[in-house]
Amino acid sequence: MSDNARSRALLILNRWEKEGVPLDLVVAEVLRQPFADPRDLQFCRALVYGVVCWRGYLDALLARLSSHPLAKMKPLTLQALRCGLYQLVAMDRVPASAAINETIRLLNEAGQPKWLTGFVNGILRRVSRELADLQRPGEIDAVKSAGMSMPDLLSHPRWLYDRWVGRFGKEVALALCRADNGGAELTLRAATKVGREALLEKLQAAGITAEAGCFAATAVILPGYRGPITALPGFDEGWFQVQDEAAQLVVPLLGELSEGIWLDGCAGLGGKTTQLAELAGAGVKVVAVEPEARRFALLGANLQRLGQGAAVETFPGTIADLAAAGGRQFQGILVDAPCSGLGVIRRHPDIRWNRKESELARYQSGQLALLEQSAVLLAPGGVLVYATCSTEPEENEQVMELFLADHQDFKVEGCADYLPVTARNFVGGDGFFRTRPDQGVDGFFAARFRRK
């Protein structure tokens, strides 16, 4: 098969569906080799993420047009149809002839039989003829003949759409789905050593559109930027870290880091670890825990790039492993717990298809275990901040209730006093911090506890 934007998009989609790994990992691996024309990279990414985002709509449309059940289609055929359909219904700058002919050419190059290419050709040409009468992706107000359900038109699993309608009402559920489908602009956290104004000036001087965020004092937003992060001015010098505004508001909930040892119990790639290190006073020690080898390596790389390699002690294991090693108690602990990620679908559209409602209980069990392990490590009078990038109560409020029921020596402290005035509306009467994608930021939850 020839190497171009469409062929690589098809390769990515096939591998993602088959391997069940995060889409971003497959994209990074397949696109590591550059294209001859840089525009092909942009087109390939747009096609891949567009198909995954709108898969629910595309499959519903395909099910209406095909007499052959989707479940019985060969993976290559189904992904090729999705790619072709998406170009027809959502990529206005792509001529219909190119969308159809290039899809068929890829199938021919893959050695698919004539009857199958004829089948795909027939469906795509029918869609091309009927475009004026079709409800387009996300188009829920027009009265047309598609007859699709609301979850299909909004391209969300029915269980998730119904859950949001039940929790928030239809209006907010629609807003959440639209925010997920609208994607998110690249957001940076300006390093303290530089400051937001200097970073803005550096980016704007390079001809990059950049503006201050609305809620976090360190946030810089790059509307429309689609280039590589490594190409941004200041990347190599450690002037910034990629981090959504909601995520930037979590670490400050720990309060003043003026003394003692502080722990990032779920460091990941180091977004919050590096922020923790920036806020730490001169006599403060920061420890970061990350058990997964790939993430641990990237954590180290980010610490080095931001000039924090000597300031943070990294531990290649779990919180339980750290507790087993013994000998230390922490003045403060951040538990940014592994979760469903249902609050960051706008950045990772594959999450909606990779999650099941039944899995929320499993996440809750793991989150409670992390809090239990962290409680053992927290010094009397110490602060614990729990956070997830999920909007769902099983992973948030219910975890808080269960934890507090078994830990009478912990009390909730309100989050509002630790946030800038611009972000205090995200704190409810219970003191918990909550954001949603329809508010212009990722969906986060956070709570602050103190050990008595």
Name the domain count of the chain. Answer: 3
Predicted pLDDT at 100? 96
**Residue 26 to residue 109: CA distance in whole angstroms:** 22
**Residue 388 to residue 366: CA distance in whole angstroms:** 12
Q: What is the CATH classification number for the domain harbouring 330?
A: 3.40.50.150
- pLDDT means per 10 residues, the chain with 452 residues, are 89 95 95 90 96 96 88 92 96 95 94 92 94 81 65 96 97 97 97 96 97 97 93 96 98 95 96 95 93 95 93 94 88 97 98 97 97 95 98 98 96 97 97 98 98 93
Q: What is the CATH classification number for the domain harbouring 207?
A: 3.30.70.1170
Tell me the residue range of the domain where 71 lies.
5-147
Question: Would you state the structure tokens that stand for residue 109, as one six-digit string?
Answer: 């190059």
- Catalytic residue chosen out of the listed positions 44, 53, 177, 389: 389
Residue 44 annotated among the catalytic residues of the structure: no
Q: Same structural domain for residues 212 and 280?
A: no
Residue 133 lies in a domain: yes
Q: Same structural domain for residues 134 and 261?
A: no
Predicted pLDDT at 221? 98
Predicted pLDDT at 145? 43
Pair 324, 298: CB distance under 8 Å: no
**Residue 199 to residue 214: CA distance in whole angstroms:** 16
- Sign of the alpha-carbon dihedral angle for 196, 198, 203, 207: positive
**Residue 397 to residue 71: CA distance in whole angstroms:** 37
Residue 118 lies in a domain: yes
DSSP 136: P
Of the candidates 147, 163, 197, which is a domain's last residue? Answer: 147
Q: Same structural domain for residues 359 and 234?
A: no
Residue 158 lies in a domain: no
Q: Same structural domain for residues 213 and 99?
A: no
Supply φ then ψ for residue 167, to 5 degrees: -85, -45
